[in-house]
Structure 1
Amino acid sequence: GFPLVRDLISVPDSYKPLINMLLGNAALVEDLDQAISAWKENGRDQCLVTPEGDMVDNRGVISGGKLASSSRGLLARKREIKELEKKVKECEGKAEALKTKLNTVSLELERKTASLDDLIEEKSDYQEKINDLDRVIFRLGQEMDQLEKLSNRISDELEKESKEQNRHEKALNKIESELKLSEDKRKKEEKYLHQKEVELKESEEEFEQIRNELEKLKLDQRLSQEEERGLLREIERIGDFVHESHEKLEKIGEDISEGKQKVQELLKSEEAQRGGLEGLYEKLQKAEGAVNGAEQDRNESQAKIREEEKRGDGIRAELEILREKINTAKLEQSEIRFKMNNLVELVREKFNLNLVEIYKEYVQQDFSELKTRDELERKKKWKERMGEVNLTAIQEHEALKERHDFMTGQREDLLNSIESLDKAIRKINRTSLEKFRETFDDVDRKLKSVFPILFGGGTAGLRLLDPEKPLESGVLVEVRPPGKKLSHMGLLSGGEKALVAMALLFSLYLIRPSPFCLLDEVDAPLDEANIDRFNELLREIRKYSQIILVTHNRRSMEIVDRLYGVTMERAGISKMVSVDLQELREN
């Protein structure tokens, strides 16, 4: 006459055969007493379950219910104690980091830290004892259940089981008294630990103040560096563009000038070579005149020498000097004659000209050997640079002219393209600036409304580092949590940074919300107080979007409409379980 459990569970049609196989003919009763009575009357073919989780199978064995809840409570306390131990160790590490600034209290802190370690060890020992006592209590509870069932089935052992039960109850009372004493001692230890945490917190606040000042200075430096880098990048970009344009224009001008210069040089090369030959012939004429004059001087000198030899040995020295001059003149004459012969042969080989016949046409009256040599060397170098006579200069000129016309057209096209690009860039910048300002203002307004939800108050806003250049400026997030002064994200704690980041992301999202919002363990770094405020924000977002939330937090699970879970009853086989919480709330 009891309702079946499988009829009370709503699952998709594809899972109904599995639910029927797992639950079978299990029925739901009001409490454990009714289940035991029903089993005594006619329950050996049916499993009975109570709303509290107690189950009586067809053999009469009772399981689940309050014992399982108690076990889960102890495990939760054990997890909380481990978390407290972890926090104590973190506080000790921070205290070590502040030793350099807390020299006056370092010895006292070390002593208290050592005392705290002893207390932690004692607390661990007591926790192990508590766990042992919990296991004993659980085991005794199971034995009591077995004794109660045996007392209903075997009347002749009722007195024995009653005595055993009394003995166990005394043991439980004794254990409970021990637990109470342990609990009192644990509270005293927690009070002492709390006192030490307050001392550490004061030290942390002093350290945090110094660190905030340092972070503020670092932020100012980074802002200045960022502005400087932005200006340098803009100058470099403009300089590269101007330099590239100048190079292209200069290259085009050089090609045009080079073509014109080659044409002019080719036209003047023949006249320049003829002028050089005139200078050479003048040199030859003057050299022969010098040789003839030297020969005449030599003859006169020899005559004078013969007349002066009779005058004495005093003049012989002068005669030797004159002889040396004569020999030098002869050598110079021979050298000049040799050079003249070579020059005649060289002109004949290179230019196919007879220098002896034509040199008189190019003789100069004001001939200067030094100037002629310099001019000759200069023209030789100029001739070497000029190279051979280019017989295709006219064709090259035409090709260069055609290339010049082509480059001129390309230059005009390039200038037109640059002008078009400048117009497009100005239009894009104008549109981008309008869109950016509009979006920036919307995000700022949303942030001012979302931030108080996550922080339980306070204010937040966005500010441009360079309002004159919004498209190139950075964005600074300024926040003021409740009870604190205005600061930026770099001066906040890890949890506060996570909340500010969430506020900014959800502000961006709420400007144009999508039909679906997928969140993957976003609430993982939040504590319980922040979880509640995060859930309030999710309730606001669900007005616009359908939220799919991946979470391990029970508080977040409480606000959902439908819950999906994956379990593995057997190794390697996953199973999907779903619960419609909205339907359960309505029922």
Structure 2
Amino acid sequence: MEYVFGSTLVCEDPETAKRVTFDPAVRLRSVTLQGDTYDPAGVLSGGSAPQSSGVLLTLQKLNEITTDLQQQETQLSSLTATMAREKKKLDASRKTKQELDLKRHEIKLTEEQINGNSSSSIIQAIEEMKQNIAQLKDDVKAAKTRQDEANKDIKRVERDMSEFNNNKGSKLAELQTSLEKLKKQLTKNNASIKPLQSEMREAMVESEQCGSDLAAAQEQLEEAVITLRTQQEELDDLLAEQARVKEAHDLAQAHLSDEQAKLTGFDVELGELEDAIRSKNASITEGGLEQQKLGHEIERFHKEQEEAMGHVKALEKDYDFIASDSELFGRPGSVYDFRGVNMGDAKKKRKVLHENFQQKKNKINPKVMAMIDSVEKKEANLKKNMATVIKDKSKIEETIIKLDEYKKEALHKTWTTVNRDFGQIFNELLPGSFAKLDPPEGKTISDGLEVKVMLGKVWKQSLTELSGGQRSLIALSLIMALLQFKPAPMYILDEVDAALDLSHTQNIGRLFKTRFKGSQFIVVSLKDGMFQNANRIFRTRFVDGTSVVSATSGSDR
């Protein structure tokens, strides 16, 4: 069952419709998806033509197609957004590639500027000057060698002169000749050395100038190298960025191809869906016509139903058994089971029976029949009341059992808690002793409880073996255990320590203070041991024949 329209149920198949319609708890009119109508009153009409599916199925399929179409449109919009994002990435990669090409062109121009700069020509001139300086140094070394040879000749001449002094006559002419030759050679050497010296000085000046030019050129070269290194790093970064962008572009291109393929498939599916929508629209149009026909049929059924309801009311007015036996109508196995009954034959049979009834009606005393009907109604009511009483009796018995179980559980819980507190309180009031509540032998706690006391290590057989003070402690421990199980906001105790000594009275006061922190105690006592644990003390005494009350705090006593 998927849809509910008022008091009419729409079922999937005839079996479900029968089960729902004739169920005593439901008993509502049902219509199957094929158009068969089932009424709890027993009216059955034929179905529609089987070649066309129902209007509800058509509407359901239309809703499913509309939902699929909306999902496809959502996917299409998401794919369009993805394509737009990928296009933006592609534009960004193209822009990055343009920037990379521009940087490459700038690097190429920088290299050309470096190659065409004056520093390169200066470096070349410096190399040539270095070669000239080396040549001049070789010439200077040769001139020095020749000077050394001249100095040797002068020494030799001086030696000869010394010899000449010894032999002036023979050597004078020879020395004069050698001297003239040497002077000529020295003049010649000086003349050849002077241009070399001037060339050397010029070369030194040019070398210094070249050195300064070389230092400036080296600075320019270092700046150019730094610029080249920076541009090379930028180039490497741009190449890495280009590789990354290219990889992202390839991925985006592959994803775009996949999405385009999906879009192509979606276009095909959309075309198919549009064809299906057109066909479904045509089917909906046909379904609308069929719905109008069904509307006319429903109106006719409503009229027939109203007529049948009027007839049923008339029958209920005429026949009292209808109201009492209405629950049995349509129930399987009863006399009112209308499944498999031919309504045409039933109507004919009813007509014949009605005629026979009218004929025999005149022969029967109506008062006797009314008495019989009254007695039968009373019998049915008594049976119904008896069934209700039996049912209520079983419920009452179940409730009594549950209450007994709850009582036993609550009693056991109370006994466990009170028994534990009873033993602890008695042990606190009378150290070295213990007391407990146990059911008699062979019985449960519902049958009663016995007080068992252990003094030292000996269990007492009866409370008569205890002293008056011990019995007072037992009674007081049990009362306090019960009060602790369900505490009250205030307690009034009148001389509960009358039969106790001072130590036990102090234990009772201390027990009130420790175990009942949320309660207040008003204790009437004549023992000083109780006063030591009181928060506030009221003393009464006679003064000059008049009762006087004085109040003090526990700390001021």
Q: TM-score by structure 2 length?
A: 0.31
Larger Rg: 2
Q: TM-score by structure 1 length?
A: 0.29
